[in-house]
Amino acid sequence: MLAQRSIRLAVEKADAAGCRKGSKTRECKKVLKEIEKAKSAYKKASVRQSQTKPDKTIDLYKKAWEHAHKAMGLIPNNKDSDSDGVPDDQDNCPNIPNADQVDTDGDGKGDACDGCPGDSAKTEPGLCGCGVSDVDSDKDGTPDCKDNCPALANPGQEDCNNNGIGDVCDPINPSANDSNCDGIDQNCNGVPDDGYVPTATSCGVGVCAATGSMTCVNGQLADTCQAGQPTGTDADCDGIDQNCNGVADDGYVPTETSCGVGVCASTGSMTCVNGQLVDTCQAGQPTGADADCDGIDQNCNGVADEGYVSVATSCGIGVCAATGWTSCVGGNVFDSCSPGNPATEICDGLDNDCDGLIDEDFNLGSVCSVGVGACQSSGVYVCLADGSGTECNGVPGEPPPEVCNDLSDNDCDGTTDCDDSDCSGAPDCQITCNGVAANDPAVCSGNGDCVAPDTCECMAAFEGEACDMFKTRCWNKPYDDPTVCSGKGTCVERDACLCDAGYSGSVCQLGPNYAVRCYGELNSDPNACSGNGVCSGPDSCNCFDGYVGANCESEFSGTCYDLDAADPDACSGHGRCVGENECRCDPYWSGPQCAYHEWYCYSEHVESENVCSRHGTCKATDICDCDDGYKGLTCAYKLPDYFDPANPYTCFEFRADDPRACNGRGHCEDWDMCWCEPGFLGSGCESVMICYGLDMFDDNVCSGHGGCVGLDVCSCHSGYFGDRCESSSN
């Protein structure tokens, strides 16, 4: 501002001195040149300041001030017009005395000659007065301070509503659009809102829909539209919104529908879609030609099973056999075949009683014999001509002379060796045991040898003068076996041990250490030794097969012959791998890898000399093939001497020597008198013995380690003991 005032003061003083544009004097040219330099510097400073480039701006303003003062110093007239002691070229009021040169507003004009001494922008009041700029922004001849619209030119200063705002910048003016509805007269014609134009309106939905218009009343918008009234609950399906809620047919309730027949039958519902009823039910597809007979219509033609084709049938067996045809009625197959009526079975090669067996009531084909002694001849039973029974077709031989020492009836007289009158006095007939010759198979009850007069040497399982008594056995061991009752007691009766002092248990297996503990558990506790062994002393466990560890806490996890212990094929699949290359075989299996099959016949090993009572061969588990003259499950029964094959007695229609006599479970002692094998009951040995809820033929009876020989009486295999053969001594 100081540079600007200095330039203006220099121009005024130059003008007062007669130095104006076009002056020819040398002095004035110098003055005007310095003024131009001052103006140029000031202009450059203003440009830099507007570009916000403050660098050198102050220096430029300073040069402008210096050039202005230099110009004032070059002005050639130094007279003092107002005689105030200040030359005119230095006087800020050259025509009015002001020796003090006071310039309050610093505009270069002394207060004495400044019309606005407090306004640095003005030296005269002008139209707007001091302190107010006389600028006319819109160039319409009226300064802004007096202009009612200073931004827009309006030379006439028109103001139709006299609000002090010119019409050209007032929204309320004669050319304004008064089309809104605000109660204001925008175009100054005395009528508010006269340009408003009503618009069409609508209201309500469905049947309530109506129209109207939006009008202007006293500066307020008013809609003349009024909605109608609902006409129903909108439960039909017509696409019309009767209840005026904006949704057509929303009161419609779908109903169940059905379509198709047979397997194509389906269900759906009647729905409403866009004012139209639409059934969602779609029939299925046929599944077949309907040739079966199940009461179902697979081909969906309304008729079930019409494709069924009848087939020829047969029914009945034997003489009751018949034929017929199948038919389909109501989805069920009916057979017209009706078998004939059975008759009493006779021996004629036909199934007369229609049970699928021919001549089953007769012993056809069974081996039979005719004649006695050496004349005896074998044959088979065949039907009698009248069908009433059977006869043996064997032919007896011719009798030779009797031989007294071959145990045979050579002369076919029904007596053998010493019993034959032809052998009186023969040396072999002199020794007897209890009245039976030494060479008689029945001597010593067939259970021993007559080694001296009335002196029998019994087999291991028998005792008594005539070897006619089984030895008392405890848990499958004879009473005189040194290991019976664990060697710690006496076998006093069947499976009853009287234990020595300090021992207890069913086989005296619990000794003085019975109350000791193994790792905190009493040896009587089933959890002792982790439940996987026997506590035989303080913290001393004997582990069961397959378990290891001080407390038998771990299963053996090694190998047996290159197979993991857990492999089902370890030990040939017939035992357990209980140690490194150590197999514990299942019953009836043996060998290092349990690869050899063995079996028992009624607790006797197949190779035992006592198997099958020494009168037969153990062919498979509990299956004895008896020698001639012996029968029964264990071949222990010898047919009595009075049995006559030519005129045999029977038990319930079967000969005494027929394997089917007494249901194959006992011995026919006399007419309809059966002696049953252990484990069987009933007059014909028809009932099976039960041991602890399982019949004797159940694989799991007696824990699978013995045979059921009486009601809840198990005969255990070697190596097993307990009421149910549940414990192992291995």
Residues 637-675 have pLDDT tens digits of 676 665 566 667 788 878 877 778 888 777 787 777 787
Residues 270-314 have pLDDT tens digits of 999 998 999 999 999 999 888 888 889 899 998 988 888 889 898
Look at residue 277 in the predicted model and tell me its pLDDT.
93
- 25 lies in which domain range? 2-74
Confidence of residue 23 (pLDDT cuts 50, 70, 90): confident
- Nearest CA to 393 among 373, 358, 368? 368
Contact 636, 604 (CB under 8 A): no
CA distance 410 to 419: 12
Q: For 387-414, b where at least 16 C-beta lie within 10 A, e where not — what string?
A: beebebebebeebeebbbeeeebbbbbe
For residue 80, count other CB atoms closer than 10 A to its CB.
15
Please name the residue that has the structure tokens 């007294």: 404
Contact 32, 23 (CB under 8 A): yes
Q: What is the mean pLDDT of residues 701-714?
A: 78
Q: Is residue 33 part of a domain?
A: yes
- Nearest CA to 245 among 254, 236, 234? 234
Confidence of residue 604 (pLDDT cuts 50, 70, 90): confident
Q: For 151-170, b where at least 16 C-beta lie within 10 A, e where not — what string?
A: eebbeeeebbeeeeebbbeb
From 361, 380, 402, the end of a domain falls on: 361
Is the predicted pLDDT of residue 257 greater than 90, yes or no? yes
From 74, 97, 124, the end of a domain falls on: 74
Confidence of residue 417 (pLDDT cuts 50, 70, 90): low
Please give the backbone phi and psi of residue 406, each rounded to the nearest 5 degrees, phi first: -115, 10
Confidence of residue 617 (pLDDT cuts 50, 70, 90): confident
Q: What crossing angle do the helices spanning 2-16 and 26-50 adopt, rounded to 10°?
A: 160
Q: Is residue 490 part of a domain?
A: no
Residues 136-193 have pLDDT tens digits of 888 888 888 888 898 888 888 888 888 888 888 888 888 888 888 988 888 888 889 8
Contact 541, 535 (CB under 8 A): yes
Q: Which amino acid is at 693?
A: G
How many domains are contained in the chain? Answer: 2
- Nearest CA to 5 among 58, 64, 50? 64
Helix (H, G, I), strand (E, B) or coil at 535: strand
Residues 212-235 have pLDDT tens digits of 999 999 889 999 999 999 998 888
Confidence of residue 603 (pLDDT cuts 50, 70, 90): low
Strand-pairing partners, residue 335, are 326
Look at residue 259 in the predicted model and tell me its pLDDT.
93
Burial of 87 (0-12, 13-18, 19+ CB in 10 A): middle
Please list, in sequence order, all residues whose beta carbon lies within 8 angstroms of the beta carbon of residue 7, skipping any fewer than 6 positions away: 35, 38, 39, 42, 64, 68
Q: What is the mean pLDDT of residues 388-406?
A: 77
Tokens at 635, concatenated:
């071949």
Residues 118-128 have pLDDT tens digits of 888 888 888 88
Q: Which amino acid is at 272?
A: C
Half-sphere exposure of 688 (CA within 13 A, CB side): 12
Look at residue 32 in the predicted model and tell me its pLDDT.
82
Q: Is residue 38 part of a domain?
A: yes
Confidence of residue 499 (pLDDT cuts 50, 70, 90): confident
Q: Which amino acid is at 448?
A: G
Q: Which amino acid is at 472?
A: T
H/E stretch holding 32: helix 26-50
Highest mean pLDDT, choosing among 419-423, 509-513, 675-679, 715-719: 715-719
H/E stretch holding 498: strand 496-499
Q: What is the mean pLDDT of residues 417-443?
A: 70
C-alpha distances in Å from residue 171, one per residue of 157, 184, 196: 15, 11, 16
Mean pLDDT of the chain: 80
From the CA atom positions of the chain, what is the Rg in Å?
A: 71
Strand-pairing partners, residue 666, are 676
CA distance 306 to 683: 59
Confidence of residue 52 (pLDDT cuts 50, 70, 90): low
- DSSP category for residue 241: -
Q: Is residue 332 part of a domain?
A: yes
Look at residue 282 in the predicted model and tell me its pLDDT.
94
Q: Which amino acid is at 140?
A: D
Q: What is the mean pLDDT of residues 445-466?
A: 79
Look at residue 285 in the predicted model and tell me its pLDDT.
93
Look at residue 597 in the predicted model and tell me its pLDDT.
67
Look at residue 360 in the predicted model and tell me its pLDDT.
82
Look at residue 353 in the predicted model and tell me its pLDDT.
87
Q: Is residue 140 part of a domain?
A: no
DSSP code string of 258-289: EE--GGG-EEEEEEEETTEEEE--------S-
Tokens at 643, concatenated:
């049995």
CA distance 257 to 267: 6
Is the predicted pLDDT of residue 47 greater than 90, yes or no? no
Query: Higher model confidence: residue 720 or residue 426?
Result: 720
Contact 204, 216 (CB under 8 A): no
CA distance 179 to 186: 9
Tokens at 660, concatenated:
């089917």
Pairing of strands 673-676, 680-681: unpaired
From 24, 50, 74, the end of a domain falls on: 74
Residues 627-639 have pLDDT tens digits of 877 776 677 767 6
Tokens at 404, concatenated:
């007294």
CA distance 554 to 533: 11
Chain centre distance of CA 231: 57
Contact 252, 272 (CB under 8 A): yes
Q: Is residue 333 part of a domain?
A: yes
H/E stretch holding 46: helix 26-50
Highest mean pLDDT, choosing among 141-150, 392-401, 411-420, 661-670: 141-150
Is the predicted pLDDT of residue 449 greater than 60, yes or no? yes
Look at residue 244 in the predicted model and tell me its pLDDT.
92
What is the pTM (predicted TM-score) of this model?
0.28
Chain centre distance of CA 505: 50
Look at residue 408 in the predicted model and tell me its pLDDT.
66
Query: Higher model confidence: residue 216 or residue 509?
Result: 216
Helix (H, G, I), strand (E, B) or coil at 208: helix
Q: Is residue 58 part of a domain?
A: yes
Q: For 717-728, b where at least 16 C-beta lie within 10 A, e where not — what string?
A: bbebbbbbbebe
Q: Is residue 653 part of a domain?
A: no
SS3 annotation, 285-306: CCCCCCCCCCCCCCCCCCCCCC
Contact 580, 546 (CB under 8 A): no
CA distance 600 to 729: 18
